[in-house]
Amino acid sequence: MVLADVEQHGLDALLGDDLAMDELHAVRADVELDRGFEVADRDADVIDPAEHRAESILTALRIALAANLASGGGLDPEPLLAALRGHGAEVELFGCDPDDLERLAATAPDRVAVAGGDGTIGPVAETAGRLGVPLGVIPTGTANDFARTNQLPLDPIQAAALAAIGTATRELELGRLADGRPFVNVASAGLAAKAARHAQPFKRVAGPLAYAIGALQAAVMEAPMDCTVRADGKQVFSGGAWQVIVAVTGAFGGGSQVGISDPGDGALDIAILPAGSRIALARRAWGLRRGTVEQQEPVEHLRGCVVEVVLPRGAELNVDGEIREGGLERATAERAAYALVVPGATSTPSRPPRLTS
């Protein structure tokens, strides 16, 4: 019956009989109407009307996975590779160093996925945006604030499934430090950097709670800093501050949040926690945990496309959970810099399998 349909209706008959597509995911199929038909399991159905001379190839989604093997105390990428391939994708594994990402870009994948902590995401997101392909995020770090704020699965296997078959995407901005280093959550000076430094010894045993421990230690032991902040060329603050937060998503520190931040507006949000008593600082910390700190007096909340922060010499930053020196002397935002794969109603590849002839 199938052979008769093929002779009468051609390739459409095959598609109608579900011979070239698996219902759950894309498969690779080779079709030669003059010699035979094969699907990915290599079982052949013979088709032999010699007058039909056409050949088509249905290809699987090609995903480049950039994995930070040091994230979360040590990452084994094999279960993630198996999960991605289990949903029909062809996957190639890369590291996250600049040279690795250049090699990744040279393969021209259909989609990029990143497995790591928040500090790993920015450079990979930049690469996906440059290639014009969606980014899937598989959280394997300690805090995973980016995944939480974007409502991505926190389970790595579930996140890998979404990265492979999700169709819904959301365009997000990238923040950039003075040296061009991209960030997706926040770049913060003051107590956030001190808290991250104090949290490091506790990450392996306490997980996300390490950030709360670090924040408590920083609040007790550290002092305010002198700083000057400009937004779009206008000075907006000068004096002592506990913390200056330059935000994209506004998420950091294992659950803290500048709640009003909008990662889609093309501008950076700035929250300045002025110096004051440590009792008042406890209220600021509560506001950060609730995502309402920008509503507190005398906290300053501003926006700017170009943010310039003058800090004391040697002041450290917390950039997406990683400690570094310098970069807030000029921070900018790039609107719609990449497209993030997010949960949606459908579960088929966002790029339909290519049918070429």
Domain boundary among 58, 78, 99: 58
Give the β-pairing of 111-116 and 62-67: parallel
Query: Is 32 found in the same domain as 78?
Result: no
Sign of the CA dihedral running 117, 119, 124, 128: positive
Query: Is 68 found in the same domain as 19?
Result: no
Task: Identify the pLDDT of residue 217.
Answer: 73
Query: Is 129 found in the same domain as 186?
Result: no
Tell me which residue of 81, 128, 75, 68 sits closest to 104, measured CA to CA: 128
Q: Does residue 291 sit within a domain?
A: yes
Which of 10 and 104 is assigned the larger pLDDT?
104
Reply yes or no on whether the pLDDT at 298 is more than 90. Answer: yes
Reply yes or no on whether the pLDDT at 37 is more than 90. Answer: no
Q: Does residue 328 sit within a domain?
A: yes
Task: Identify the pLDDT of residue 222.
Answer: 77
Domain boundary among 168, 198, 214: 168
Query: Is 316 found in the same domain as 194?
Result: yes
Query: Is 319 found in the same domain as 261?
Result: yes
Average pLDDT over residues 89-99: 97
User: Which stretch of 2-16, 150-164, 171-185, 330-344 has the lowest confidence by average pLDDT?
Assistant: 2-16
Query: Is 27 found in the same domain as 128?
Result: no
Three-class SS state of 101: helix
Query: Is 154 found in the same domain as 92?
Result: yes
Average pLDDT over residues 321-347: 90
Spatial CB neighbours of 43, under 8 Å, sequence gap ≥ 6: none
Q: Does residue 34 sit within a domain?
A: yes
Q: Tell me, what CATH number does 325's domain have?
A: 2.60.200.40
First-to-final CA distance of the chain: 25
Sign of the CA dihedral running 253, 258, 264, 266: negative
Q: Does residue 142 sit within a domain?
A: yes
Query: Is 33 found in the same domain as 70?
Result: no
Task: Identify the pLDDT of residue 61.
Answer: 96
State the residue range of the domain holding 6: 2-58
Cis omega (within 30 of 0) on the bond before 79? no
Average pLDDT over residues 10-36: 38
CA distance 56 to 132: 26
Q: Tell me, what CATH number does 74's domain have?
A: 3.40.50.10330
Task: Identify the pLDDT of residue 348.
Answer: 38
Tell me the two tokens of residue 319.
């950039």
Average pLDDT over residues 248-270: 93
Query: Is 42 found in the same domain as 108?
Result: no
Q: Does residue 202 sit within a domain?
A: yes
CA distance 278 to 291: 20
Query: Is 199 found in the same domain as 332?
Result: yes
Average pLDDT over residues 5-16: 41
- In the chain, the largest separation of any two C-alpha atoms, in whole Å, equals 87
Residue 247 phi/psi, 5° resolution? -120, 145
191, 218 in Cβ contact below 8 A? Answer: yes
Q: Does residue 341 sit within a domain?
A: no
Reply yes or no on whether the pLDDT at 89 is more than 70. Answer: yes
Task: Identify the pLDDT of residue 203.
Answer: 61
User: Which stretch of 8-17, 57-66, 186-195, 279-288 has the lowest confidence by average pLDDT?
Assistant: 8-17
Q: Does residue 350 sit within a domain?
A: no
Query: Is 49 found in the same domain as 83?
Result: no
Domain boundary among 168, 190, 218: 168
CA distance 153 to 19: 33
Provide, rounded to the nearest whole percent, the portion of the chain with pLDDT above 70: 74
Task: Identify the pLDDT of residue 10.
Answer: 44
CA distance 193 to 222: 11
pTM: 0.78
Reply yes or no on whether the pLDDT at 355 is more than 90. Answer: no
* Chain segment 180-200, per-residue pLDDT in tens: 999 999 999 998 777 777 666
Tell me which residue of 192, 183, 330 sits closest to 249, measured CA to CA: 183
Query: Is 27 found in the same domain as 113?
Result: no
Three-class SS state of 36: strand
Write the single-letter amino acid at 117.
G
Three-class SS state of 225: strand
Tell me the two tokens of residue 266.
């093309």
CA distance 149 to 118: 11
Provide, rounded to the nearest whole percent, the portion of the chain with pLDDT above 90: 61
- Residue 252: CA count within 13 A, CB half-sphere: 36
User: Which stretch of 10-19, 118-127, 274-283 has the lowest confidence by average pLDDT?
Assistant: 10-19
Reply yes or no on whether the pLDDT at 57 is more than 50. Answer: no
Task: Identify the pLDDT of residue 215.
Answer: 66
Spatial CB neighbours of 230, under 8 Å, sequence gap ≥ 6: 236, 304, 307, 308, 309
- Which ranges of 166-307 would DSSP assign to H, the alpha helix? 191-199, 203-206, 209-221, 278-290
Which of 322 and 34 is assigned the larger pLDDT?
322
Q: Does residue 344 sit within a domain?
A: no
Summary mean pLDDT of the chain: 82
Q: How confident is residue 131, by pLDDT bands cut at 50, 70 and 90?
A: very high
How many domains does the chain divide into?
3
